[in-house]
Chains A and B, each alone.
Chain A
Amino acid sequence: MTGAEAGAGAPAVRGKVLILVAAVVVLSLVAGAAVLHAGHRAAVKDRTQAGGPPVAAGPVTLGPAAAGRVVFRNMAYGPHRDELSSVPAATPGGKRTASGMRCLRFYAAGGTGICLQAVHGPLSDSYRAVVLDSALRERARYPLPGIPTRARVSPSGHLLAWTVFVGGDSYAGSDFSTRTGILDTRTGALDASLESYRAVRDGQPVHASDINYWGVTFADDRHFYATMGTGGRTYLVRGDIAARTVTTVRTNVECPSLSPDGTRIAFKKRVPGLPADAPWRLYVLDLRTGRERALAEPRSVDDQVVWPDDHTVVYAMPSDYGSDLYTLPADGTGAPRRLMTAALAPAYLR
């Protein structure tokens, strides 16, 4: 291993330089090939694939006229990849109408949409949240401190919430945290981070530096549920925007999603004994009885589910296109069924 002798003569140095130059040439070729290959692969995603879902450009709206449709991020390869698209909820396999608006994450309710998108800067990407009106026009935009992962809108369309990942920037760092913001579109009041709320656990205030919040779901324009993580555990918390407090409800609940009638919460739960890279199963918690029930999805799900109605949940699973949507009864019966290919972040308009 200790190859180089101290103070080797000039001929030896020339040999070493030659070795280094040769190695740099070879490695440059390898590196260049890798970049070109990746570039080619990226180009493929811009071409429509045979057998993919049909997509065509057209108007997409979020207002009452669009009730009964589902708006989502289209992930099918082709010119409309990553655009907000819409299909009738009754025929999810039908022709998709693509809006031209690109989003990484999306949600809509009450005629208001939230679109979390990437902004390609000269040196790096940044992210922003864009508030959309019912015609998908931009009402406001807010810079985001990290990579978008969750977005929700209150049923009235007045409140928005988002969660982003803020990555550690230390060498080989793995210290990730989340920031969850809540925005009132009526006043423009923005809580950039729920960490400014008072957290209460078992009647006691929680003071911990490692508190993270993610996955807000709104009950109304004042109350919400979310996940609080601290000390290696996760809690379902109920939040009160007026009082600026969050109160723990129970443990081991992530990415809650409130049913339209407000009686149940679908969530992902870490089940002991599962592999560390696929630790979650879908559950539904009945808020009246406090009983939780496992859903009939044998795979690990990492998504905040949506409720198309009071009896069904829809969620994303990784796939060839990036993500497919699956559906399942919310009472624990049945079996998962693929609803749409190449789709993510659906919002059912009511």
Chain B
Amino acid sequence: MYVADSRGTPPASAAPARIRSGRRAAVAPTVLALGSVSLVTDISSEMVTAVLPLYLVTGLGLSPLGFGLLDGVYNGFSALVRLVGGHLADRGGRYKAVAVFGYGLSALCKPLLLLVGSLPLIGAVLAADRTGKGLRTAPRDAMISLACEPATRGRAFGVHRAMDTAGALLGPLAAFLILRFAVDGYDAVFTVSFCVAIVGVLVLVLFVPGRTLGARGGGTAKATASGAGALASPTPAPPAPADAVSLRAALRLLRRRDVRRLTVCALLLGLATVSDSFVYLLLQHRLGVSDRWFALLPLGTAAAFLLLAVPLGRLADRIGRWQVFLGGHLALLAAYGVILSSWHSVALPYVVLALHGCFYAATDGVLMAAAFALRPATIAPQAAGGDAR
């Protein structure tokens, strides 16, 4: 399931720039292409995620206990990888190359799962898979941002996140349909997952333009050439050599008062955000949700996220991203309030999950859209934080 656990640079009160006259697709083709890549990749990765525990216990007869010890360590590493991905992509604007590497690495991990039969090796493959995911997140978000008008960025991210979440919902379904047809057919699940992942990489290679213009001004970025129609624009965009970005330049960002102030704000808000499982556990305790239904709670969040991503993205474009971002946290607060209140109703779980999904829809893509408004001319936000896949 979808868990956004890291937060990037918070938005400034991004006053939407005036939209240039000219051709404006509702959503740039590049965004749709990247959304398709995410959708397909998510189907692939969620297929594996859904059957992995079953595969370990019944397929391999292993005890996955103690396996989780890797997790905490790896999450820290994951954040680092994300920074590296952002940095690599920023240097010379190689967003697509880094993204292709990240998606490709994750794709190649799927058949490897067929070959390894022990926990440490499976752990290593999963680590590689996550490394690929960490590397591609920032450059992909940078490409989305560069592919659309600044004033429609929120909606573009909303569309992308909605497609992404749709994939996350379809993946487990596909996996269990295969297992229904072929009992213990874990190898079939991994093979199909691999084929699906390759389709995702192909869509990325074929339909997402490389070498987007990296150098853009802050809040008033003009749309890139690629954004004006990756598939149909008759004139190829000249690749603009972006200045090499040094780590020091990235750190210098933190010396800017607005960036620093907002980073602190986001950190504080991030601290207030308890992990997803906590929300579900609270709900379970509050309602006595049976364990069978417990597994479905994250689906409720995902569904709400899916439905709200685009409308809230558009809202952010219209009234300001910072406001929507804050509103998302208020929604989360409201969700906690509802759980902890004495309100009794059959609607309670639906309300809580809708608010929880609203929190994601109002923060995840919106944060990315806003973060790009803050960067200096030569830098795309490194390691942009959203954890969408």
Contact = CB atoms under 8 A, between A and B. Distances in A.
Interface in B168-220: 172-173, 176, 178-185, 187-188, 191-192, 195-196, 198-199, 202-203, 205-212
Nearest to A165: B57
Interface stretch (B14-22, B64-72, B335-343): B64-72
B292 interface: yes
B234 interface: yes
Interface in A1-21: 1-10, 13, 16, 19-20
B42 to A, nearest CB: 9
A168 B192 CA distance: 22
Contact of A35 (B70, B71, B188, B236): B188
Interface string B44-65: 0110111011100110011111
- Which of B173, B211, B295 is the most central at the interface, judged by chain A CB atoms within 10 Å of its CB? B295
Given A1-B100, A2-B94, A42 B185 contact: yes
A322 B59 CA distance: 9
A175 B71 contact: yes
Given A214-B65, A302-B61, A172 B209 contact: no
Nearest to A40: B182
B229 interface: yes
Contacts of A6: 209-212, 225-226, 230, 233, 236-237
Which of the four size classes fits the interface of chain A? 35 or more
A35 B185 contact: yes
Given A7-B226, A123-B176, A165 B61 contact: no
Contact of B229 (A7, A41, A229, A318): A7
A42 B49 contact: no
Contacts of B155: none
Interface in A112-127: 120, 123-126
- Which of B185, B237, B294 is the most central at the interface, judged by chain A CB atoms within 10 Å of its CB? B185
A4 B101 contact: no
Contacts of B62: 277, 302
Contacts of B290: 143
A31 interface: yes
Interface in B240-270: none
B interface majority secondary structure: helix
A323 B60 CA distance: 11
Contact of A277 (B120, B176, B206): B120
Which of the four size classes fits the interface of chain B? 35 or more
Contacts of B234: 7, 9
A3 B63 contact: no
Interface string A39-63: 1011001000000000000000000
B188 A37 contact: yes
A172 B71 contact: no
B133 interface: yes
B1 A45 contact: no
B274 interface: no
- Which of A4, A10, A37, A165 is the most central at the interface, judged by chain B CB atoms within 10 Å of its CB? A4
A4 B206 contact: yes
B71 A42 contact: no
Interface stretch (B121-129, B324-332, B346-354): B121-129
Contact of B119 (A8, A20, A104, A276): A276
B209 A212 contact: no
- Which of A126, A172, A176, A229 is the most central at the interface, judged by chain B CB atoms within 10 Å of its CB? A172
A1 B230 contact: no
Contacts of A169: 1, 49, 295, 298
A5 B210 contact: yes
A42 B229 CA distance: 49
B191 A120 contact: no
Contact of B209 (A4, A30, A144, A173): A4
A20 B53 contact: no
B64 A165 contact: yes
A306 to B, nearest CB: 17
A135 interface: no
29 contacts: A2-B211, A5-B210, A7-B225, A7-B229, A8-B236, A13-B231, A20-B199, A35-B182, A38-B182, A38-B188, A39-B185, A39-B188, A42-B183, A120-B180, A124-B176, A125-B54, A125-B176, A143-B291, A143-B292, A144-B291, A169-B298, A170-B3, A172-B126, A175-B71, A176-B64, A176-B65, A176-B68, A277-B117, A277-B118
Interface of B: 1, 3, 45-46, 48-50, 52-54, 57-58, 61-71, 74, 94, 96-97, 100-101, 117-121, 123, 126-127, 129-130, 133, 172-173, 176, 178-185, 187-188, 191-192, 195-196, 198-199, 202-203, 205-212, 225-226, 229-237, 290-292, 294-295, 298, 389
Interface of A: 1-10, 13, 16, 19-20, 23-24, 27-28, 30-31, 34-35, 37-39, 41-42, 45, 104, 120, 123-126, 143-147, 149, 165, 167-178, 212, 214, 229, 232, 275-278, 302, 318, 322-323
